[in-house]
Chain A
Amino acid sequence: ETGVTQSPTHLIKTRGQQVTLRCSSQSGHNTVSWYQQALGQGPQFIFQYYREEENGRGNFPPRFSGLQFPNYSSELNVNALELDDSALYLCASRPAMGLTGNTEAFFGQGTRLTVV
């Protein structure tokens, strides 16, 4: 148990719809990042939030957006879903950024999104 919880665990959506995925970070962690993991691939970095602001983004289009709340929980929103968006979406939380050697990220179990 990492203390990072994601909801829902599974989701089926239709192409063109919008989806919101949620993540509760581990207590004391103020940095949350989101990853997309397609079948048979490693996780791909989507973006990262630190103290409610996006402070890093991978190679994903603007229809992938997010939020971080004052309690450091986070949401990932995807608009205009495409079939290729089907994947496991992982959330990871970390303690305050910049601490020397403090690089461990704790991952949640993920949300399996299927777009049909």
Chain B
Amino acid sequence: GQQLNQSPQSMFIQEGEDVSMNCTSSSIFNTWLWYKQDPGEGPVLLIALYKAGELTSNGRLTAQFGITRKDSFLNISASIPSDVGIYFCALIRSGNQFYFGTGTSLTVIP
């Protein structure tokens, strides 16, 4: 089956530091999505990527769609306490089905 791996599994950083996480798949996909999930909430879309090599920013967040179309990274600059949560990458499979990665848990220490 489809392998969608995220790394690192968890991160503990100081407030103000930059964060980088990535996601790799075993197959080529045309759309990469990054979601954030707060405790007790559903995932919320942060950034969507549609083209290989595409670099997209949303405030302090930047994500890139790898040129091979098998990977993506998400960077967060100048982290703040509300960045705490679990970050998921997701792909869209046939039939518009979303396939989620294993998640990266982020803890920001004030």
Contact = CB atoms under 8 A, between A and B. Distances in A.
A97 B94 CA distance: 12
A61 B50 CA distance: 32
Interface of A: 2, 4, 31, 33, 35, 40-45, 48, 55-56, 58-59, 90, 92, 94, 97-98, 101, 103-105, 107-110
B98 interface: yes
A108 B99 CA distance: 17
Interface of B: 1, 31, 33, 40-45, 48, 50, 88, 90, 92, 95-103
Contacts of B100: 35, 42-44
A17 to B, nearest CB: 24
B103 A42 contact: yes
Contacts of B31: 103
Contacts of A42: 88, 90, 100-103
A94 B99 CA distance: 15
Nearest to A48: B97
Contact of B45 (A40, A90, A98, A104): A104
A50 to B, nearest CB: 9
